Structure 1
Amino acid sequence: MNKSRRNGGGAKHKIYYTAVWVNGDKAIAEMPVMILSPRVKLDGQPVDLYSYARIFTRLTKENDTWKILDGECIYERDELIPVVPGKPINIDTKESASYRESYQGLCYVLARPGLTSRADLPGEDQPETVEKVYADASRWFFA
């Protein structure tokens, strides 16, 4: 297995419709995504992790070329699905409950090889984090 995949890389992003707002040489784009993580094993059982999010991006136009300034992933929810339908997944529910609801499964899976995730990422379970992303972008967009 390559290093990127071992460290949580290699996820496929299914991007759906993209909404774009333009104000002169500034633009904001938002697109819903479903992130399909590489298959993992939890306690020996193969499991798929699907994360649902929105990618929120600021862009600027320089010399007739649009360039990405930055982007935020706004997490909505995720789910762990057993590869063998109906087979229960053995999860430490106490540990799982310690993670943010918007990306709980992702944190749980990342913790298996000893990786950690930030607890302050924008997510639907903490609406103030999402409101901050939109407010900051609005101030920049209309300035």
Structure 2
Amino acid sequence: MIRIRLLAAGTVLMFALSIGAQQTTTTSPDTHAIAAAPVEQHLKVISEKLALTADQQDKARPILQEMHDGSQKINDDQTLTAEQRHAAMGELFMKSDKQMREFLTDDQKKKLDEMEAQMHGGPHDHPGDTAPQ
């Protein structure tokens, strides 16, 4: 069940990152600006979907940056097998998801759960859930 949640959270987060990454091809060649663009785009998407406050956005930005940097590092590591890469990404996404949920309201958490369900066609388990699915 946790693997399903990891996959769901990871897909939602990577989807938002990929949108930003696609847009970086048209930005200036400044490396810092290119690296920041996916994070800002991801932040924009989740801010709109979850109605994040300015304070929540400020808290989310470093989490998203850490997730982006970590996913880049994992993808660039050619010593990892596909399975190891998948596991490392899952851990990274789970950590980011957990950190984000610490400052989300219950309503925002529900919206995030709904986003994940839409991405994967069904409900997913979350840490702390005790009901079998």
When normalised by structure 2's length, the TM-score is 0.24
Asked which structure has the greater CA Rg, the reply is 1
When normalised by structure 1's length, the TM-score is 0.23
**Larger % of helix: which?**
2
**Larger % of strand: which?**
1
